[in-house]
Structure 1
Amino acid sequence: MASSEAPALHLGGHPLTGIVDIGKTHTRLMLIDSVGELVHKRNTDSRAVPGALGYDALDVATTEAWLCEQLAGLGPLARHLRHLTVSAHGAAVAALRGGELALPVADYEWAGFDDRPATLAAQLDPFEATGSPLLPRGLNMGVQLDWLSRHAADELAAADTLLPYGQYWTHWLSGVAGSELSALGCHTLLWRPREKTFSDWARHRGWAQKFAPLKPAWATLGPLRVELATRLGVPRSVMVHTGVHDSNACLARYLHHWPRLTLVSTGTWVVVMAPGAAQRPLDATQDQLANVSVRGEFVPTARFMGGRELAVVCAGADPAAASLDRLPALLARGLRVLPAFSDQGGPFSGQSGCLAIDGRTLDNAGWLATLPVEADRATAAAWYAAQMCAWLIEHLGATGPVVVEGPYAHNPVILAALQTLLGREVLHSLDEVEGTARGSWRLCHWTDPVSDAPRTAPISQPAWNASLLQAAHRHWLAQLPGQD
C-alpha cells in the first residue's frame, strides 16, 4: 500500500484533535490543533480484498494495522492528543457479533450486488419518503444487507449490532457503538429523512432494530479503549466522537456560516449538496437524492463519480496540467466530451462516454494520438467536469453561493468555466485542510464558542470569450440524450 508522509508542522502546546478519514480511494490520519492548524498528516491507499464469503470486502485488517502503526508512531505528539473522530464513505455497513465483525465489510463496487430479486424495487419505501434511489452495485447500504440476507444468511442473522462504516471505526476506538444520522441518511434506502426514522422496509427486514442507538456526530462516545491506549502509547483520556459521513462532514463545516449555499464536494465522487434549495421533487433517474445533515436536515443532493471520470478523460495526464490558455483553442476545434465514464451513479449512468474533437469521435487510442500534449487532455477533462457540475447544480435548483471543496478547488479551468457557465458567484476553498477533515475537526468542537469562518476566495474570471464557452455548453446540452 502506498503511503505518503508529511512532517509535523508545529506543536506549540496546543491540544490536538485526530481525524481518521477513510475514503474509498485513500485513508488519512490528520492531527489538527485547537486553533485549527494542521500539525501532522499521513496517507495510505484504501483497498478491497476477496472476502471469505464470496464477495469483495474492504480491507479492514490492513487499515487497522496501518492506523495502529500511525498512532503508535506519533511520538511526542501523542501526549497532546485530546480528541479522535472518523469520517468515512457512506456505502458500507459493519455487522458485529459480541463486538467483533460477524462477516467481512462489503466493498460497494463489487459487481455481484447487481444480483437482486426482481421484486426488490417493489419492496422499498417510496423514493419520495426515503429520498434514496435504487443504485447500481452496493451503493445502497440496504442492497448490501439484502444480498447478505440471501447469501450469508446465518452470519448476518447471528449479528447483534449493525453500524455504518465510520461508526464501526469509532466503536473500534472506544468500545461504544453508536449510529449517526448523516451516515444512515446517505442513499441507504434505510432512512426516511423528513420523518427522521427508519424506513418501513428496514423495520420489516429486522435491520432497523439491530442498528446501534443514534448519537450526534459531535457526541463523545467515551475514552479510547484501555487496551488500545496502552498498546499504542496514546493517553487513555483521549475522547472518541461518534463520527460522520464524509461529504456531510464537509457540509457541516459550512452550515455554521451559510445556512443556504451550494457545496460542491469533490474527490472520488463529486457531491453537490444544496441545503435551502428550492423545494422541488427530486428525480431519482438523475441520481438526485436526499442527504441528511448532521443536524438532521433534509439536504437535496446530486452527484457523479467525478474523480474517476476526470482521470479517465485525462488518460494519464496530471489533472494539475489543465490550462486556461488552452481551452479556447480546444473548443474552436469542436471539443466535445459527453458522459459517462463510470458505470456507478450519476445522472448519465449506463451511457457510454464520447470523446470528440476535429469532427471525429475517438476511442482511447485515438484520443491519446490526437491530443498528445498532457495539458490538452487535462484541460479537456476539466472542461467536462465543469460542465457536469454546472448541469447538476442547475437541475437541482441549488441556491446561494457555490463553494467548491477538494481537488476541484485547485483546478483553475474547472473553477473559471463553472463560474462562466453558471453566471453566479463561485468561491473556492483556500483551506490547507480539506473540507472533510476540517468539518470533522469542527464537529469535535461543535459546541465551542469559536468563530472560524471558512477560508474561501472568489474566482478571478479570465479574459476569455465567455460566449464561446456558453455556446459550446449549449451544444453539449443538446447532445445529451433526453436532456434539455
Structure 2
Amino acid sequence: MTLPQDATIVLDIGKTNVKLVLLDAAGEVLAEQRSPNTIVRDGPYPHHDTERIWEWMLDGMQSFARQAHVSGIVPVTQGATAALVDDEGLVLPVLDYEYELPASQQAHYAVERPPYSATHSPLLPAGLNLGRQLVWQSLAFPRQFRRVRHILMYPQYWAWRLCGVPASEITSLGCHTDLWQPSRKQFSSLVDRMGWSRLFAPLRPAWAPLNVLKPELVLRTGLPSDCRVLCGIHDSNASLLRHLSSSTPPAVLSTGTWVIAAAPGLPLDGLREQADMLANSNALGQAVPCMRFMGGREFAELAGSEVEPCSIADLHSLIERGTLAVPSFSSAGGPFAHRAGFIKGPPPSSAAQRYALATLYCVLMSDYCLDALGVNADGAAIVIEGSFTANPWFARLLASLRPRQQISTTDDSSGTTCGGWMLHHWRRTPTSRKKIATPVQLPGWDDYKQQWLKVLL
C-alpha cells in the first residue's frame, strides 16, 4: 500500500489539552491523538510536564510514521509561556502562567514594565504577562538564570528540541508579554533594561523550516530523515492565519479555553487596558486589536460536570424567567476579571439548562467583546473557530444579535490545526468549508441582552 505523501504533523499544545494531528497534502485529517495538559505541583513552582508531553509526542509520531510519509512538523502552542534553556535543556521548569506570582514582586515589576501605549499589553493577573514571569525567575533563581543561553517562546522550544535550532517568532512574542511593541515590530524597553537582548534567538517567520529532525529522533520515531521542523506559531494566530489572505479580513472568534475576538484591520487607538484589550501580532507581523475572556473555562464552570446539550425550550425557559449569568467566573483575565460572577434570577433546574445558561453567557460575552473592538459595521463578517463550533446554538444565537453581519463557523473544531497545516504549505489556502449560521428565532432574546447589560454596566 502506498502511503500518503507530503503529510504534516501539527503539535497543538493548549492550556487544557495537547493534540497531535496528522494531515495529508490536501489538509485532511488522517489521524489524531489527545492527552490532558497536566500541571506538576512539586518543584520550585507549578509547571508544565514537558517530559511527559515529549514522550507522549514521540510515541504518537512513531504511530503516524506508519500511516503517512511526513515531510513537516509544526508546533502550535498557547501563549504566555516560555522555556529557559542552556545547550543541554531546561535550566528551570516551564512555569504555568496561572501560578500566582509573589505579591511582593508586583510593585517592583510595575516599575520595570513598559507603558501600555508602547506594547498594548494590559497588566494581567498571575503570570499572564510573560515579562513578569521572566523578571521573577531572574530574581528568585539567579544561579539558574545565569546559565540561560536562550529564552524560547513555547512553540520554538518544541521546535528546538526536535531539530536543535533556536529561533524567535513574533506571534508568541507579541501576545500580551510586555516584551514586544506590535506597532513598531521590535522588542520593548523591558528586554533592553533587563539585559536579555542576547538571550533571544534571531527572529524567523512562523512558516520557516529551521532544520530537519534530529537523527536520533528519526531513529526513535521512524519519521523520514528529511522531515523538516518549522518555527511554529501562537495558537490563536494559527486560527487567524487562513483569513489573512482575504482583501477584507473578517473578525475572528477563536474559541477554546480562551475566547479571543480578533479584528484585523481595525485601529489600535480604541483599545483600553482596563478592559483587557490588547494588540496581538499576526504571522505577517501586523498588529491586530483583540479582546478576550476565559470562555471555555467559564462555560465549564457554568455547565457543570454533567454535560447535557440543551434544546431551544431550555434556552427559552431561561430567557422567559430572566435567569442571567453575570461575569466573571474566572479570575484569569477578561474585561470583568475583577468581579465575582453570580446568577441572577431562578437558577437552572437541570444539566440541560446549565448548558443553556453557559451558552447564553458566552454568546453575550463574545458579542460584548466584538462591540468593544468596533466590529459592528453593516456587512462586516465574523468567523467562529474552535471548540464552540460544536455547540449547536452558539453561532445561531450570535447571528440573531447581529442580523446585519454574516456569522459563520469553520470545519476546524480545534481552530489551530488548519493554521499549522498552512504554515507547512505556505501560500496555499485550504478549501473553505464555512457554514453560515442561520439566526435562531428566540422570543425575548434581544430584551434579555439588554437586561444583562443593565445588570453588568
TM-score interval, smaller chain: over 0.9
Please say which of residues 258-267 and 280-289 is displaced more in the overlay: 258-267
Partner-residue secondary structure (3-state), 1:73: helix
> Contact (CA 8 Å) 2:77, 2:155: kept in 1 or not?
yes
State which drifts further: 403-412 or 242-251: 403-412
1:69 corresponds, among 59, 78, 87, to: 59
- 1:433 shift after superposition: 5.6
Amino acid of the residue matched to residue 46 of structure 1? N
Please give the per-residue CA displacement for 1:215-262, whole angstroms capped at 9, x wherever unaligned. 000000010011111122211110010000000010012112354311
**Pairing of 1:132-143 with structure 2 (within 5 A):** 132-143=121-132
Measured against aligned partners, the alpha-carbon deviations of 1:153-187 in whole angstroms (never above 9, x if no partner) come to: 11112101110011100111111111111010000
- Does the aligned pair in 2 maintain the 1:123–1:201 contact within 8 Å? yes
- Cα drift, residue 13 of structure 1: 2.7
Work out the CA distance in 1 between the residues paired with 2:404 and 2:88.
50
The equivalent of 2:90 in structure 1 is 101
1:479 aligns with 2:437: no
**Residues in 2 aligned to 1:138 and 1:314: alpha-carbon distance in whole angstroms:** 27
Contact residue 114 and residue 136 of structure 1 kept, 8 A: no
* 1:409–1:428 contact (8 Å) kept in structure 2: no
1:343 corresponding residue in structure 2 = 331
Deviation at 1:470, TM superposition (A): 1.1
Amino acid at match of 2:401: L
Which whole-Å CA distance do the structure 2 matches of 1:50 and 1:404 have between them? 34
- What is the TM-score normalised by the length of structure 2? 0.95
- How far apart in 2 are the matches of 1:445 and 1:114? 45
Q: For the Cα contact (< 8 Å) 1:261–1:398, is it kept in 2?
A: no
Counterpart AA for 1:39 = L
Q: CA deviation at 1:91?
A: 1.1
Moved beyond 4 Å, runs of 4+: none
What secondary structure is seen at the aligned counterpart in 1 of 2:101?
Answer: helix
C-alpha distance in 1 between matches for 2:425 and 2:65: 24
Give the % identical residues.
35
Gap regions ≥5 residues in structure 2: none
Aligned-partner Cα distance in 2 for 1:246–1:117: 28
Contact map agreement 1:114 1:138 (CA 8 A) in 2: no
CA distance in 1, matches of 2:413, 2:54: 23
2:241 is aligned, of 240, 252, 255, to 252
User: For residue 376 of structure 1, what is the aligned residue in structure 2?
Assistant: 353
Report the more deviating stretch, 303-312 or 371-380. Answer: 371-380
| Deviation (angstroms), 1:114 | 4.7
CA contact (8 A) 2:167 2:201 kept: yes
When structure 1 is superposed on structure 2, of 320-329 and 85-94 the one drifting more is 320-329
> Contact 2:19 / 2:33 at 8 angstroms: preserved in 1?
yes
Once the two structures are TM-superposed, the CA of residue 113 in structure 1 deviates from its matched residue by: 5.1
Q: Which of residues 419, 435, 441 in structure 2 aligns to 1:457?
A: 435
Q: Post-superposition shift, 1:120?
A: 2.1
Matches within 5 A, 1:308-347: 308-318=297-307, 321-347=309-335
Deviations 1:181-227 (A, max 9, x none): 10100000000111111101111101232111110000000100111
Give the equivalent residue in structure 1 for 2:411. 431
Q: How does 1:216-295 map to 2 (within 5 A)?
A: 216-257=205-246, 259-295=248-284
Equivalent AA in structure 2 for residue 462 of structure 1: V
TM-score by length of 1: 0.90
User: Which whole-Å CA distance do the structure 2 matches of 1:75 and 1:202 have between them?
Assistant: 41
CA distance in 2, matches of 1:147, 1:211: 18
Q: How many residues align?
A: 454
Whole-angstrom distance in 2 between the partners of 1:12 and 1:420: 46
Q: Secondary structure at the match of 1:85?
A: strand
Report the secondary structure of 2:397's partner residue: helix
Q: Name the aligned partner's letter for residue 165 of structure 1.
A: Y
In structure 2, the residue matched to 1:89 is 78
What is the root-mean-square deviation in Å for CA atoms of aligned residues?
1.8
- Equivalent AA in structure 2 for residue 44 of structure 1: S
1:59 and 2:41 matched = no
Deviation of the 1:326 alpha carbon: 2.1
Cα distance in 1 between the residues matched to 2:137 and 2:212: 33
What CA distance in whole angstroms lies between the structure 2 residues aligned with 1:92 and 1:255?
A: 25
Structure 2: how far apart are the matches of 1:452 and 1:314? 34
8 Å CA contact 2:325, 2:342 repeated in 1: yes
Partner of 2:136 in structure 1?
Answer: 147
State yes or no: 1:297 paired with 2:286. yes
CA–CA distance in structure 2, aligned partners of residues 408 and 66 of structure 1: 27
Aligned to 2:401: 421
CA contact (8 A) 1:273 1:302 kept: yes
C-alpha distance in 1 between matches for 2:117 and 2:74: 32
Deviates more, 1:453-462 or 1:184-193: 453-462
Q: In structure 2, give the amino acid aligned to 1:477.
A: L
Map Cα deviations across residues 35-57 of structure 1 (whole Å, 9 max, x no partner): 111101000010111353x2111
Deviation at 1:12, TM superposition (A): 5.9
> Quick one: distance in 2 between partners of 1:291 and 1:49?
29
Q: For residues 424 and 121 of structure 1, do their structure 2 counterparts lie closer, same or farther at Cα, with a shift above 3 Å needed?
A: farther
- CA distance in structure 1 between the aligned counterparts of 2:75 and 2:435, rounded to whole angstroms: 28
CA distance in 2, matches of 1:143, 1:129: 16
Partner SS for 2:265: coil
Contact 1:82 / 1:239 at 8 angstroms: preserved in 2?
yes
Distance in 2 (alpha carbons) for counterparts of 1:209 and 1:112: 25
Letter in 2 for 1:375: A
Task: Compute the displacement of 1:315 (Å).
Answer: 1.9
**Contact conserved, 1:269 with 1:306, CA < 8 A, in 2?**
yes
Aligned mate of 2:116, from 107, 118, 127: 127
Question: Which among 178, 185, 202 is matched to residue 191 of structure 2?
Answer: 202
The CA distance in 2 between the partners of 1:292 and 1:266, in whole Å, is 18
**1:7 equivalent in structure 2:** none
Report if aligned partners of 2:261, 2:292 keep a CA contact under 8 Å in 1: yes
Partner of 2:27: 36
Q: 1:323 to 1:145 in 2, by over 3 A?
A: same
| Cα separation, 2, equivalents of 1:324 and 1:85 | 40
Q: Is the 8 A contact 2:166 2:201 kept in 1?
A: yes
Q: CA deviation at 1:352?
A: 0.7
Deviates more, 1:82-91 or 1:454-463: 454-463
Q: What secondary structure, in the 3-state scheme, does the structure 2 residue paired with 1:435 have?
A: coil
